[in-house]
Amino acid sequence: MKNSKVLSRKEWALSHGFILAGLILLSVGLALGLGRYIGGIIGLIIAGIWCFAGGLCLIYIPAFRRLAQK
């Protein structure tokens, strides 16, 4: 933990860009693929995935701030 490296702004933006693109592609894939079969509940599934990903970001922000201060 002593030599842990915090991401630069460029690396942070790139990694979050990939996460966001993955979430968008997953959402579109679910909506177009499974949406035909299970109807309206697909919106709840997609919203759940987005909320889960957002929750992970909110949980890990304080942990990474503490790592950056060390």
Q: What is the mean pLDDT of residues 50-63?
A: 84
Helix axes 41-69, 9-33, angle to 10 degrees: 170
Condensed to tens digits (0 to 9), the pLDDT of residues 32-41 reads 887 777 777 8
Domain assignment present for residue 29? The answer is: yes
For residue 20, pLDDT beyond 60: yes
Q: Tell me: pLDDT of 48 over 60.
A: yes
State how many domains the chain has: 1
Encoding tokens for residue 37? Answer: 């079969």
pLDDT of residue 4: 54
Residue 1 lies in a domain: no
Any idea how long the chain is?
70
Q: Can you count the helices (H) and strands (E) in the chain?
A: 3, 0
Q: Which domain holds residue 40?
A: 9-69
With beta carbons less than 8 A apart as the criterion, state whether 27 and 50 touch.
yes
32 in a domain, yes or no? yes
CA distance 61 to 39: 35
Least confident of 8-12, 18-22, 55-59, 65-69: 65-69
Q: Does residue 65 lie in a domain region?
A: yes
Write down the pLDDT at residue 36: 73
